[in-house]
């Protein structure tokens, strides 16, 4: 009897050991593997997105239709003219001028007979779902101009505005001002560096004043993403 009990006990212990070994050697469940895989993919995507959205100087250069002049001031310079040289002289009756805006390049160029004669640091509309708040296309400078404005809905204003839309909604103007008339330093720092407006084209204070005072009505304005 004792012998039978010992045999049965040995069989049970052996069977338990086999089950234990089977569990120890079993692969992780599909759910566990899927969780690990998902974490890996998420990390890879995050790393990829970080690389993708990193804006290098080389990338910015590609987005611009013209090479930056050597005397162009650094991005973020909002209280001086963009180039160290004098603003070009413009005749009130000139018909061969074009203002060319590169939204992603953060530049505005003045061309005479197709040749760039002055480059300005600028900031256009924010991109939402791949589209800028600044309308692209071909327009003309309108008669609408002014020293300043303030939009109470946006709690933002600007100085030295020049319209390029018949209803005076879309403008060239200075970097933004606050309710007390002072310039918004956080937004001013974006000039020539990235997008930030609600649709208008921001320029440095001296550039916006020069444009308002000198650019003839009817001047062609070409706005493109690049």
pLDDT in tens, 198-222: 999 999 999 999 999 999 999 999 9
Cβ contacts of 68 within 8 Å, gap of 6 or more: 61, 107, 119
Instruction: Assess whether pLDDT exceeds 70 at residue 195.
Output: yes
Question: Does residue 118 lie in a domain region?
Answer: yes
Instruction: Assess whether pLDDT exceeds 60 at residue 33.
Output: no
Comparing 96 with 49, the larger pLDDT belongs to 96
Residue 116 pLDDT level (bands cut at 50, 70, 90): very high
Cβ contacts of 154 within 8 Å, gap of 6 or more: 198
Q: Nearest CA to 108 among 98, 100, 116? A: 100
- Which ranges constitute the DSSP H helices of the chain? 2-25, 30-52, 57-62, 185-188, 205-214
Question: Does residue 177 lie in a domain region?
Answer: yes
pLDDT for the residue 62: 82
Range of the domain at 130: 57-73+94-224
Question: Does residue 188 lie in a domain region?
Answer: yes
Question: Does residue 98 lie in a domain region?
Answer: yes
Question: Does residue 182 lie in a domain region?
Answer: yes
Give the pLDDT confidence of 60-72 residue by residue, as tens digits.
678 899 999 999 9
pLDDT for the residue 40: 42
Instruction: Give the active site residues.
Output: 173, 200
Q: Nearest CA to 124 among 198, 184, 217? A: 198
Q: How many domains does the chain have?
A: 1
Token look-up 């566990």 returns 32
> Within 13 A of 118's CA, how many CA atoms are on the CB side?
21
Question: Does residue 131 lie in a domain region?
Answer: yes
Q: Give me the CATH number covering residue 162.
A: 2.40.440.10
Cβ contacts of 214 within 8 Å, gap of 6 or more: 87, 90
Percent of the chain whose predicted confidence (pLDDT) is above 70: 73
**What's the CA gap between 226 and 223, in Å, rounded?**
9
> What length is written for the chain?
226
pTM of the model: 0.74
pLDDT for the residue 151: 93
Tell me which of 7-11, 24-28, 35-39 is least confident. Answer: 24-28
Instruction: Assess whether pLDDT exceeds 60 at residue 39.
Output: no
**What's the CA gap between 196 and 123, in Å, rounded?**
6
Question: Does residue 103 lie in a domain region?
Answer: yes
Question: Does residue 23 lie in a domain region?
Answer: no
Mean pLDDT, residues 142-160 taken together: 95
pLDDT for the residue 56: 54
Residue 54 pLDDT level (bands cut at 50, 70, 90): very low
Instruction: Assess whether pLDDT exceeds 50 at residue 24.
Output: no
pLDDT for the residue 157: 96
| 3-state secondary structure at position 213 | helix
Mean pLDDT, residues 42-49 taken together: 44
Which runs of E-coded beta strand occur in the chain? 97-102, 107-112, 115-123, 127-128, 131-132, 137-140, 145-151, 156-163, 171-174, 201-203, 220-224
Mean pLDDT, residues 111-130 taken together: 97
């Amino acid at each position: 009897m004792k012998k039978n009990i010992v045999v049965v006990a040995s069989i049970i212990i052996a069977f338990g050991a086999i089950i234990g070994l089977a569990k120890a050697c079993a692969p992780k469940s599909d759910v566990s593997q899927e969780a690990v895989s998902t974490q890996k993919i998420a990390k890879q995507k995050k790393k990829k997105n970080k690389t993708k959205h990193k804006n290098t100087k080389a990338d910015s250069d590609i987005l611009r239709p013209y090479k930056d002049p050597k005397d162009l001031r650094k991005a973020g310079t909002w209280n001086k003219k963009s180039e160290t040289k004098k603003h070009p002289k413009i005749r009130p009756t000139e018909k061969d001028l074009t203002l060319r805006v590169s939204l992603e390049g953060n530049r505005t160029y003045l061309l005479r007979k197709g040749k760039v004669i002055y480059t300005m640091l600028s900031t256009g509309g924010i991109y939402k779902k791949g589209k800028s708040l600044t309308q692209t296309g071909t327009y003309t400078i309108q008669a609408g101009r002014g020293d300043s404005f303030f939009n109470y809905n946006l709690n933002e204003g600007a100085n030295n505005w020049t319209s390029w839309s018949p209803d005076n909604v879309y403008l060239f103007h200075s970097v933004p001002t606050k309710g007390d008339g002072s310039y918004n330093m956080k937004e001013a720092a974006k000039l020539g560096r990235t997008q930030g407006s609600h649709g208008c084209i921001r320029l440095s204070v001296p550039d916006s004043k020069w444009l308002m005072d000198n650019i003839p009505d009817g001047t062609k304005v070409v706005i493109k993403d690049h």
